[in-house]
Amino acid sequence: EFIFIPNRSIAGGSVTGRILSDYSVTVDVEGLEARHDRAERFLNRYVALELARARWGGASLIWERSTDAEDESPDDQSTPTIEPNAFLSGVINARLSDRHQATLFVGERRRGLACTAGTCYVVQAFKGAELRITTQF
């Protein structure tokens, strides 16, 4: 059981192809079918398309769709049925130097739990633009 979801099925895949010598295109597709405790089943879908250039960075277009009641838009919560909610965003990342990277996010990000290398954290819902500068030392 994970975050009160006792029954879930997950599938996905990613394909990357090289274009010319320094460019690549990646398509990432993921799907989740699950149920919260004693609730109706819901579906989450995720598709990302990225164009990247070696040693420079890349640009991505990301689309997510959820029928989870917890992701329902506040405008739709007064209706008797669960209205699917879609999230669209774009991300541009650039390598500024060997130790610095900039990432620009524009669009809408859904909230939820994210895990990286065994550490999980809560991602807050966000709509707008965000610029992150990362420095490694």
- Give residue-wise pLDDT tens across range 1-26: 556 676 788 899 999 999 988 999 99
Confidence class of residue 108 from pLDDT cuts 50, 70 and 90? very high
Beta bridge partners of 23: 19, 53
Distance of CA 21 to the CA centre of its chain: 28
More confident residue, 76 or 85: 85
Question: Pairing state of beta strands 41-53 and 57-66?
Answer: antiparallel
Angle at 93 between CA 91 and CA 99, to 5 degrees: 150
Helices and strands of the chain, counted as H and E runs: 0, 9
pTM given for the model: 0.82
pLDDT tens sequence across 124-135: 889 999 999 999
Q: How many angstroms separate the Cα of 119 from the Cα of each of 31, 113, 116, 122, 126? A: 22, 10, 5, 11, 21
Q: Is 59 helix (H, G, I), strand (E, B) or coil?
A: strand
The phi and psi torsions of 82 (rounded to 5 degrees) equal -80, 120
How long a stretch of residues is the chain?
137
User: DSSP alpha helices (H): ranges in 74-120?
Assistant: none
